């Protein structure tokens, strides 16, 4: 009765399994962040501060316990060592799950096509397939970007259109991954000229705040990735211009 009515496409077992892997990894990453924050909080309570960054804390943790032995009580020392053990175990689990996702990304051409997009690697390519399959539910890249929540909210009245913040609707996980990919690209301005959107990105950074430009780039990456997935094509950038991908 309603031929134009769009329904949610049903996920097959392959997509459900892949989505479960991503959810497990996201939970482990969240637990690791909480564990690291708790270690930092306990150290601060003992009057010990460590510069920001995961690597800085990991490299100095054992030295802190050894050099500040007189300042840290035996019980607190045991608590910190236990938390550090949890951290190492979570690192291993995250590495195992990430390795499984990366292995899956090497099994199909769809993943390879998506990963030719700058900044996009196994995590985004497999998360896309798990979420939208081959992308047939969307007519165009803008529809996919809107579903991810990377388009501006519109407040229109009469003949006047006002664009606000991004809608943040749809898949929060995919949106986070695309924004991370955009920020990775923006950290390397000397590589922008290697890609077809380089001149556009240079102009965008010059005329808008950097975070806003990152969201605009994430929108462009999402639309490009959908097009490659839907049509089975590859990105037009030189192969030797590949960047560190997410």
Q: How confident is the model at residue 242 (pLDDT cuts 50, 70, 90)?
A: very low
Q: Is position 158 within any domain? A: yes
With beta carbons less than 8 A apart as the criterion, state whether 111 and 121 touch: no
Q: How confident is the model at residue 110 (pLDDT cuts 50, 70, 90)?
A: very high
**Per-residue pLDDT averaged across 148-172, rounded?**
85
230 lies in the same domain as 137: yes
pLDDT tens by residue, 212-233: 999 999 999 999 999 999 999 9
pLDDT at residue 195 above 80? yes
pLDDT at residue 156 above 50? yes
Q: Is position 6 within any domain? A: no
Q: Is position 1 within any domain? A: no
161 lies in the same domain as 237: yes
Alpha-carbon separation of residue 206 from 79, 136, 149, 162, 166 (angstroms): 49, 36, 24, 22, 20
- Boundaries of domain holding 81: 13-105
85 lies in the same domain as 192: no
**Per-residue pLDDT averaged across 150-165, rounded?**
83
Alpha-carbon separation of residue 41 from 6, 50, 78, 98, 161 (angstroms): 49, 10, 15, 28, 47
Cα–Cα distance for residue pair 214/180, rounded to 1 Å: 9
143 lies in the same domain as 97: no
Run of H or E including 136: none
**Per-residue pLDDT averaged across 25-52, rounded?**
95
Cα–Cα distance for residue pair 219/135, rounded to 1 Å: 16
Could you tell me which residue, 237 or 148, shows the higher pLDDT? 148
pLDDT above 90 covers what percent of the chain? 73
53 lies in the same domain as 92: yes
133 lies in the same domain as 223: yes
Run of H or E including 191: none
What b-and-e string marks burial along 134-161, b requiring 16 or more CB atoms within 10 Å of the CB?
Answer: ebeebeebebbbbbbbbbbeeeeeeeee
136 lies in the same domain as 66: no
pLDDT at residue 240 above 50? no
Burial class (CB in 10 A: 0-12, 13-18, 19+), 60: middle
**Per-residue pLDDT averaged across 136-149, rounded?**
91
pLDDT at residue 173 above 90? yes
Residue 39 has a pLDDT of 96
Query: Of 85, 105, 125, which residue is a domain's last?
Result: 105
Residue 237 has a pLDDT of 55
**CA angle (142, 143, 144) in 5-degree steps:** 90
Q: Is position 3 within any domain? A: no
End-to-end CA distance of the chain: 43
pLDDT at residue 236 above 90? no
What is the value of pTM for the model shown?
A: 0.86
- How many structural domains does the chain have? 2
19 lies in the same domain as 81: yes
189 lies in the same domain as 89: no
pLDDT at residue 74 above 80? yes
Residue 171 has a pLDDT of 87
Residue 103 has a pLDDT of 96
């Amino acid at each position: 009765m309603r031929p134009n009515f769009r329904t949610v496409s049903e996920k097959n077992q392959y997509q459900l399994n892949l989505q479960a892997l991503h959810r497990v990894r996201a939970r482990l990453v969240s637990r690791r962040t909480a564990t690291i924050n708790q270690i930092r909080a306990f150290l601060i309570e003992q009057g010990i501060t460590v510069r920001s960054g995961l690597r800085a804390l990991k490299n100095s943790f054992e030295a802190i316990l050894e050099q500040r032995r007189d300042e840290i009580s035996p019980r607190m020392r045991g608590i910190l060592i236990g938390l550090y053990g949890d951290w190492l175990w979570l690192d291993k689990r995250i590495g195992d799950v990430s390795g499984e996702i990366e292995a899956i990304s090497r099994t199909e051409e769809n993943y390879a096509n998506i990963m030719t997009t700058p900044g996009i690697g196994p995590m985004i390519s497999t998360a896309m397939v798990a979420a939208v399959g081959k992308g047939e539910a969307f007519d165009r890249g803008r529809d996919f970007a809107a579903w991810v929540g990377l388009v501006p909210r519109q407040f229109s009245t009469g003949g006047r259109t006002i664009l606000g913040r991004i809608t943040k609707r749809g898949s929060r996980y995919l949106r986070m991954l695309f924004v991370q990919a955009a920020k990775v690209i923006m950290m390397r301005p000397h590589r922008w000229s290697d890609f077809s959107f380089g001149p556009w990105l240079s102009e965008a950074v010059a005329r808008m705040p950097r975070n806003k430009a990152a969201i605009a780039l994430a929108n462009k990456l999402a639309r490009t990735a959908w097009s490659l997935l839907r049509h089975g094509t590859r990105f037009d950038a030189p192969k030797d211009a590949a960047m560190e991908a997410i």
